[in-house]
Amino acid sequence: MMPHREFTTPEELKAALKGVDHVIIDATERAYRRSQDHATQRDYYSGKKEHTLKNTVMSLPDKFIVFLGRTFSGHNHDYKMLKQELPPDIDWFSTLHVLVDLGYMGIQSNYRGEQIDIPHKKPRKSQKNPSPQLPEEQKVTNKALSQVRIFVEHAIGGMKRYNIFVQSFRNHKKNFEDEVIGICAGLWNLALSY
Protein backbone atom coordinates (compact mmCIF):
# COMPACT_ATOMS: atom_id res chain seq x y z
CA MET A 1 0.00 0.00 0.00
CA MET A 2 2.98 2.32 0.43
CA PRO A 3 3.63 4.54 -2.60
CA HIS A 4 6.92 4.30 -4.43
CA ARG A 5 9.37 7.00 -3.37
CA GLU A 6 11.79 6.70 -6.28
CA PHE A 7 11.95 5.27 -9.81
CA THR A 8 15.23 4.54 -11.57
CA THR A 9 13.84 3.37 -14.92
CA PRO A 10 10.62 3.86 -16.93
CA GLU A 11 10.06 0.09 -16.65
CA GLU A 12 9.82 0.42 -12.85
CA LEU A 13 7.21 3.16 -13.29
CA LYS A 14 5.17 1.04 -15.72
CA ALA A 15 5.34 -1.96 -13.37
CA ALA A 16 4.10 0.21 -10.47
CA LEU A 17 1.10 1.35 -12.55
CA LYS A 18 -0.09 -2.28 -12.81
CA GLY A 19 -1.35 -2.02 -16.38
CA VAL A 20 -3.02 1.39 -16.04
CA ASP A 21 -1.87 3.85 -18.70
CA HIS A 22 -3.36 7.05 -17.17
CA VAL A 23 -1.48 8.95 -14.48
CA ILE A 24 -2.23 12.32 -12.85
CA ILE A 25 0.59 14.45 -11.40
CA ASP A 26 0.32 17.33 -8.94
CA ALA A 27 2.21 18.75 -5.97
CA THR A 28 1.06 19.19 -2.39
CA GLU A 29 2.13 21.77 0.13
CA ARG A 30 1.93 21.70 3.92
CA ALA A 31 2.78 24.12 6.70
CA TYR A 32 6.23 23.99 8.29
CA ARG A 33 7.75 25.70 11.31
CA ARG A 34 9.38 29.09 10.81
CA SER A 35 13.12 28.78 11.37
CA GLN A 36 15.05 31.31 13.46
CA ASP A 37 17.91 31.25 10.93
CA HIS A 38 17.28 33.85 8.21
CA ALA A 39 18.77 31.81 5.32
CA THR A 40 16.80 28.69 6.25
CA GLN A 41 13.70 30.81 6.74
CA ARG A 42 13.95 32.14 3.17
CA ASP A 43 14.45 28.62 1.81
CA TYR A 44 11.17 27.36 3.31
CA TYR A 45 9.14 30.49 2.54
CA SER A 46 6.60 29.59 -0.15
CA GLY A 47 5.72 33.14 -1.20
CA LYS A 48 2.18 32.65 0.16
CA LYS A 49 2.87 34.21 3.57
CA GLU A 50 3.86 30.91 5.16
CA HIS A 51 6.72 28.44 5.40
CA THR A 52 6.01 25.11 3.76
CA LEU A 53 7.20 21.70 2.61
CA LYS A 54 6.27 20.31 -0.81
CA ASN A 55 6.00 16.87 -2.43
CA THR A 56 5.15 15.60 -5.89
CA VAL A 57 2.17 13.22 -5.96
CA MET A 58 1.43 10.81 -8.82
CA SER A 59 -2.00 9.23 -8.67
CA LEU A 60 -4.10 6.86 -10.74
CA PRO A 61 -7.66 7.80 -11.80
CA ASP A 62 -8.97 5.61 -8.94
CA LYS A 63 -7.19 7.96 -6.42
CA PHE A 64 -4.49 5.39 -5.54
CA ILE A 65 -1.16 7.16 -4.90
CA VAL A 66 1.51 5.38 -6.95
CA PHE A 67 4.43 7.75 -6.40
CA LEU A 68 5.24 10.24 -3.67
CA GLY A 69 8.30 12.38 -4.29
CA ARG A 70 10.79 13.34 -1.64
CA THR A 71 10.15 16.38 0.52
CA PHE A 72 11.39 19.74 -0.78
CA SER A 73 11.39 23.13 0.89
CA GLY A 74 8.49 25.46 0.08
CA HIS A 75 10.25 27.78 -2.37
CA ASN A 76 10.67 25.01 -4.98
CA HIS A 77 8.39 25.08 -8.01
CA ASP A 78 6.18 22.05 -8.80
CA TYR A 79 7.75 21.47 -12.22
CA LYS A 80 11.30 21.89 -10.91
CA MET A 81 10.64 19.15 -8.34
CA LEU A 82 9.29 16.80 -11.04
CA LYS A 83 12.37 17.36 -13.23
CA GLN A 84 14.66 16.50 -10.31
CA GLU A 85 12.78 13.30 -9.50
CA LEU A 86 12.05 12.11 -13.03
CA PRO A 87 14.78 13.66 -15.26
CA PRO A 88 13.48 14.71 -18.72
CA ASP A 89 16.32 12.97 -20.59
CA ILE A 90 14.67 9.57 -19.90
CA ASP A 91 11.43 8.44 -21.65
CA TRP A 92 9.22 8.29 -18.54
CA PHE A 93 5.93 9.12 -20.20
CA SER A 94 6.35 7.80 -23.76
CA THR A 95 3.57 5.18 -23.43
CA LEU A 96 1.48 6.90 -20.74
CA HIS A 97 -1.39 9.37 -20.76
CA VAL A 98 -0.29 12.08 -18.30
CA LEU A 99 -2.51 14.85 -16.92
CA VAL A 100 -1.03 17.87 -15.12
CA ASP A 101 -2.10 21.38 -14.14
CA LEU A 102 -0.68 24.75 -15.24
CA GLY A 103 2.10 24.46 -12.64
CA TYR A 104 3.83 22.16 -15.13
CA MET A 105 4.09 24.55 -18.10
CA GLY A 106 6.82 23.29 -20.42
CA ILE A 107 6.31 19.59 -19.71
CA GLN A 108 5.20 18.91 -23.30
CA SER A 109 8.43 20.32 -24.73
CA ASN A 110 10.83 18.79 -22.17
CA TYR A 111 9.34 15.29 -21.80
CA ARG A 112 8.80 12.91 -24.69
CA GLY A 113 5.26 11.63 -24.85
CA GLU A 114 2.35 12.11 -27.19
CA GLN A 115 -0.34 12.16 -24.53
CA ILE A 116 0.71 14.80 -22.01
CA ASP A 117 -2.34 16.95 -21.34
CA ILE A 118 -2.09 20.37 -19.75
CA PRO A 119 -4.94 22.93 -19.58
CA HIS A 120 -4.99 25.93 -21.89
CA LYS A 121 -3.86 29.12 -20.22
CA LYS A 122 -6.10 32.17 -20.36
CA PRO A 123 -4.44 35.03 -22.32
CA ARG A 124 -3.01 37.90 -20.31
CA LYS A 125 -4.90 41.13 -19.93
CA SER A 126 -3.46 43.97 -22.03
CA GLN A 127 -4.46 47.31 -23.53
CA LYS A 128 -5.31 45.60 -26.82
CA ASN A 129 -7.23 42.83 -25.04
CA PRO A 130 -8.79 44.31 -21.85
CA SER A 131 -11.04 41.31 -21.12
CA PRO A 132 -9.30 38.16 -22.43
CA GLN A 133 -11.33 34.99 -22.84
CA LEU A 134 -10.49 31.46 -23.87
CA PRO A 135 -12.20 30.16 -27.02
CA GLU A 136 -15.18 27.90 -26.27
CA GLU A 137 -13.45 24.73 -27.50
CA GLN A 138 -10.49 25.36 -25.14
CA LYS A 139 -12.91 25.89 -22.24
CA VAL A 140 -14.54 22.55 -23.03
CA THR A 141 -11.12 20.84 -23.18
CA ASN A 142 -10.09 22.41 -19.86
CA LYS A 143 -13.33 21.26 -18.22
CA ALA A 144 -12.85 17.69 -19.46
CA LEU A 145 -9.27 17.67 -18.12
CA SER A 146 -10.30 19.05 -14.74
CA GLN A 147 -12.96 16.36 -14.39
CA VAL A 148 -10.20 13.72 -14.51
CA ARG A 149 -7.47 15.71 -12.73
CA ILE A 150 -9.72 16.18 -9.69
CA PHE A 151 -8.88 12.62 -8.59
CA VAL A 152 -5.31 13.56 -7.66
CA GLU A 153 -6.77 16.41 -5.59
CA HIS A 154 -9.01 13.87 -3.85
CA ALA A 155 -5.95 11.69 -3.16
CA ILE A 156 -4.08 14.67 -1.66
CA GLY A 157 -7.19 15.52 0.37
CA GLY A 158 -7.27 11.91 1.58
CA MET A 159 -3.74 12.29 2.93
CA LYS A 160 -4.83 15.49 4.66
CA ARG A 161 -7.31 13.53 6.78
CA TYR A 162 -4.46 13.01 9.21
CA ASN A 163 -3.77 15.88 11.60
CA ILE A 164 0.02 15.44 11.55
CA PHE A 165 -0.11 16.30 7.85
CA VAL A 166 -2.43 19.29 8.19
CA GLN A 167 -1.06 21.06 11.26
CA SER A 168 2.17 23.06 11.10
CA PHE A 169 4.97 20.50 11.37
CA ARG A 170 7.15 21.32 14.40
CA ASN A 171 9.10 18.10 14.92
CA HIS A 172 12.89 18.48 14.71
CA LYS A 173 13.77 14.81 14.16
CA LYS A 174 15.87 14.43 10.99
CA ASN A 175 13.88 13.25 7.90
CA PHE A 176 10.75 12.71 9.99
CA GLU A 177 8.69 15.14 7.88
CA ASP A 178 9.40 12.92 4.85
CA GLU A 179 8.44 9.74 6.72
CA VAL A 180 5.20 11.30 7.93
CA ILE A 181 3.88 12.09 4.45
CA GLY A 182 4.84 8.60 3.26
CA ILE A 183 2.84 7.04 6.10
CA CYS A 184 -0.16 9.30 5.40
CA ALA A 185 -0.09 8.29 1.72
CA GLY A 186 0.14 4.61 2.68
CA LEU A 187 -2.81 4.94 5.08
CA TRP A 188 -4.86 6.63 2.35
CA ASN A 189 -4.05 3.81 -0.10
CA LEU A 190 -5.02 1.28 2.58
CA ALA A 191 -8.34 3.10 3.20
CA LEU A 192 -9.10 2.88 -0.55
CA SER A 193 -8.76 -0.90 -0.49
CA TYR A 194 -11.60 -1.35 2.03
**Structural domain for 62, as ranges:** 10-186
Tell me, yes or no, whether 54 lies in a domain: yes
Tell me, yes or no, whether 194 lies in a domain: no
Cβ atoms of residues 38 and 120 within 8 Å: no
Tell me, yes or no, whether 2 lies in a domain: no
> Tell me, what's the pLDDT at 132?
86
Tell me, yes or no, whether 37 lies in a domain: yes
Q: pLDDT per position in the chain (194 positions), as tens?
A: 899 999 999 899 988 888 888 999 999 988 877 777 767 766 777 767 778 889 999 999 999 999 999 999 878 889 999 999 999 998 999 888 999 999 998 898 898 877 899 999 988 888 888 888 888 999 999 999 999 999 999 999 999 888 887 777 677 777 788 888 899 999 999 999 88
> Tell me, what's the pLDDT at 74?
79
Cβ atoms of residues 29 and 74 within 8 Å: yes
Tell me, yes or no, whether 3 lies in a domain: no
Tell me, yes or no, whether 52 lies in a domain: yes
> Tell me, what's the pLDDT at 83?
93
Tell me, yes or no, whether 1 lies in a domain: no
> Tell me, what's the pLDDT at 128?
86
Q: Burial of 187 by CB count in 10 Å (0-12 exposed, 13-18 middle, 19+ buried)?
A: middle
Question: What global pTM score does this model have?
Answer: 0.86
Tell me, yes or no, whether 167 lies in a domain: yes
Total number of domains constituting the chain = 1
> Tell me, what's the pLDDT at 19?
84
